[in-house]
Every structure is written in structure tokens, then in C-alpha cells.
Amino acid sequence: MSGLGVQPKLIIHGGAGSSLKSKGGLESVRRSLHAVLEAVYPLLRDGATAEAAVIQGCRLLEDDPRFNAGTGSVLQSDGQIRMSASLMNGSQQRFSGVINVSRVQNPILLADFLQNSPDHVLSDIGALELLRELNLPTYDPLTEIRLQEWMLERQGNFSKEMAGVVAERELVEESAGRGTIGVVALDREGRLAAGTSTGGKGFERIGRVSDSATPAGNYATMQAAISCTGIGEDIIDECLAARIVVRVTDGMPLQAAFEKSFKEAAQNQRDFGAIGIDATGAISWGKTCEVLLAAYHDGTEIGDVLEWADGNLVGGTHPS
């Protein structure tokens, strides 16, 4: 604490999965993640709300074609892009989101609008009508790399379970992972918020619903905020984000809540990662997969976990 209140904290992720194909790919992801932290953390430092910081961070990540959200989203089995996103305001404990929306640049903006709507979660047609109501321009998030990825997979009759989370210029990354972006923030007033956005797992059955627009993948209260990434079905089966938050609410420290939840997940052979912050300013992350594409600002400096190969399932920082 200081005279200005709580020291803001920020953590973001760009997906999770197996190792990046090259050191060059890793450094490119690091630059992208650090650039978002460098743009968003000053907003928190200057008094922006956690919710505003989360929205801006998600927008920047959605606009980066390297990640599977917004521009650069993967294609489903029918060659269409359908995206999902959610936002949760921890101080108001309010969840909002869109499921399988198309032709929009930033799905997180639709989730933001729905925070103050009587209807908090909309799916495909409803989300499209909201897009028109808000007079947002239609937008094609397709990139050439994602199109080539889909065409190659079509030749194999979509035998792959999912597309890579990171789009590399060398084309299909050796399954870099499960594509989602997420942002969790703590502001100077002690408010928490979390946002998560995804293009889905790629090549999936039409109508499949991601965890990203559910409390299993994105959840926040006044005590903690969590964003998840990985295999959506595994995240839903564990109800991961809500499970961690409930444990913190019941008095468990954030790191301990991560450790217990990820130990259970490992026993169940789940494949995912998560990031979080609690009301004390502790930052935590966890993974059952090989790599978690996450970076954070602890109030003093920027760090990341891209090369984190610790045998432990969970890592984190203590509040300062």
C-alpha cells in the first residue's frame, strides 16, 4: 500500500500448450506480450479501473494476429471464424460475454457493453444483432496463415484435434497449444477484473461452445480474478476459474488455491493453464501443459513465464 492506495498489478496470457517451435518464435511472443504490458500498466498506474485496463489489454491482444483471438482467430471445420469473449467485473461480481460471434474486430467490446445490459451473455445471432445495434463496422479477422492452416488440415479431413495457438510465419506451429488470450488486473482502488477472448480450438464442430465465455474460464470477485487457457472442455470439467476464486474467497491464499486446483487437474489428466491476481496483490499462474504464454507486471518490473520449465505446476509473486 501507498498514499495512492493499492499498487496495481497486471498479468496477461496468449495461450498454452506444447513448446514453441523456435527460439525466434518465443522471442516474438515475448515482444508481443511485453508490448501489451508496457501499454496497459501505465493506465493502471495513472488511475484507470481494472475493468478498463482488462478491456484495453484484451483489445491489444485481439488485434495481434499472432494470437488466436480477434484478428488471427482459427477457422472452424466449415471454414468460418466464430469467436467468444467474456468480461467479469470483480467488485460488482458481474459476468458478461458473447459466444460464437463473427465479423467483429474486438469481441471483448461486445462483452463490455453487456456489462450494463439486462441480458449479460449473447450467442451467435444475438451477438450479431448487438454488433449492428452498436453500429460497429463489420470486420474480417481472417489471416493468410490461418487460412493456409485450415486448408492443410482439410486435406487430412480435420484429423487434428485443434489448431496451434500461435500463428508463425513458418506456418503451422507444432501445436503450440490451445488458443485464448486473457488479462487480469488489480487497480489502485483494489478492484479486480478479468477478461478472456478466443477464436476457439480450430476445426471444431459447428456450434461448439468455448470455456472462455463461461465462469469456468473467466471469473472474478472482490477477492480474486482468474483467466484460463487450454483445452476448453478440460477447463469446463474442472470449472477451473470459479474453483480457484471460491477457494480464495473461503480463505485460502491464492498460491495455495492454484496448487490445490492444479494438483487435482493433473490427477485428472487435464491440459490447460491459468493466471490470476488476488486482492492482496499476489500474482499466480499454473499449467498442466508444457508452456504457458504469460507475462506480468508486478508494480516494479515486467516478467514472463515463457521459459518456465519448473517441475512445479504453479508459480507466482508475493505482494509488495
Tell me what the mean pLDDT of segment 271-275 comes to: 96
Tell me what the mean pLDDT of segment 48-57 comes to: 98
| Nearest partner of 220 among 252, 255, 196, 251, judged by Cα | 196
Prediction pTM value: 0.93
Which of the residue ranges 67-81, 124-138, 169-183, 217-231 would you say has the lowest mean pLDDT? Answer: 169-183
- Report domain 9-242+269-317's class: alpha beta
Given the residues 49, 71, 180, 214, the one annotated as active site:
180
Report the percentage of the chain scoring pLDDT > 70: 89
Q: How far apart, in whole angstroms, are the C-alpha atoms of residue 62 and residue 199?
A: 10
Does 168 score more than 80 pLDDT?
no
Does 173 score more than 50 pLDDT?
no
Q: pLDDT, tens digit, for every residue of 10-50?
A: 999 999 976 676 556 889 999 999 999 999 999 999 999 99
180 has catalytic annotation: yes
Report the percentage of the chain scoring pLDDT > 90: 81
Tell me what the mean pLDDT of segment 199-210 comes to: 93
Task: Please tell me the predicted confidence (pLDDT) of residue 4.
Answer: 57
Give the residue extent of every domain in the chain.
9-242+269-317
For residue 257, give the amino acid letter.
A
